[in-house]
C-alpha cells in the first residue's frame, strides 16, 4: 500500500513540475523503465502508465491514470461549462485555444518522432473545429495513451 501511495505522490509531484527544467531528471529518476519495456517514442503519460503496470499490474495503470488527471479533467469540465454559458465568441475562442495548449502539453503531442502523435494532433484539431466537449477529448486521449497495453 505504501508503495502505491508513494507512486501516486511521485506522479502528482511530476504533474506540478512538468514544465520546469528539472522535471526530466525527476522523471528519469522516479519512473525509470528498462529499455525493453519502453521505446524512445513513448510519451511521459505512457511511460508513467507502463511504470505503474510494472509496479502494480493493472491497479498501477489505474492509479497512474487517476494521478495524471486531477488537473486536466476538472479544467476541461469547467471549460465545457463556461463555453456553453458564455455568449462572447472571442472568449470562447480564447478558452478553446487555452485548452488545446493544455492538451498539447499534457499528452506530449509536439514530439513528431512518433507517428501516433500525428493521429492525436488530427483528433485535437478536429475537436477544435467541431466544438467538441473538452472532457470527452481528454478522456479519449487518455484512453489512447493506454491502448498500447
Q: What would the mean pLDDT of 124-129 be, rounded to a whole number?
A: 89
Reply yes or no on whether the pLDDT at 84 is more than 80: yes
pLDDT of residue 4: 84
Which pLDDT value is given to residue 41? Answer: 67
| Per-residue pLDDT reduced to its tens digit, 10-39 | 888 888 887 777 777 777 777 877 655 566
Report the SS3 class of residue 23.
Answer: helix
In the numeric block, which cell numbers belong to residue 145?
495513451
Average pLDDT estimate for 102-112: 85
Angle (CA) 97-68-35 rounded to 5° is 110
Question: Rounded CA gap, 17 and 20, in Å?
Answer: 5
* Of the candidates 31, 35, 66, the residue with the CA atom closest to the CA atom of residue 48: 31
Residue 110 pLDDT greater than 70, yes or no: yes
Give the whole-number percent of the chain exceeding pLDDT 90.
Answer: 29
E strands along 4-148, which residues? none
Amino acid at each position: 500500500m505504501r508503495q502505491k501511495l508513494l507512486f501516486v505522490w511521485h506522479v502528482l509531484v511530476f504533474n506540478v513540475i512538468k514544465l520546469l527544467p528539472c522535471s526530466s531528471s525527476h522523471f528519469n529518476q522516479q519512473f525509470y523503465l528498462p529499455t525493453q519495456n519502453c521505446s524512445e517514442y513513448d510519451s511521459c503519460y505512457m511511460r508513467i502508465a507502463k511504470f505503474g503496470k510494472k509496479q502494480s499490474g493493472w491497479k498501477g495503470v489505474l492509479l497512474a491514470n487517476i494521478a495524471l488527471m486531477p488537473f486536466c479533467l476538472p479544467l476541461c469540465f469547467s471549460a465545457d461549462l463556461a463555453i456553453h454559458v458564455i455568449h462572447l465568441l472571442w472568449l470562447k475562442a480564447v478558452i478553446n485555444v487555452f485548452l488545446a495548449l493544455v492538451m498539447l502539453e499534457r499528452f506530449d503531442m509536439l514530439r513528431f518522432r512518433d507517428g501516433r502523435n500525428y493521429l492525436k494532433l488530427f483528433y485535437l484539431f478536429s475537436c477544435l473545429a467541431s466544438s467538441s466537449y473538452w472532457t470527452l477529448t481528454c478522456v479519449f486521449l487518455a484512453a489512447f495513451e493506454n491502448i498500447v497495453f
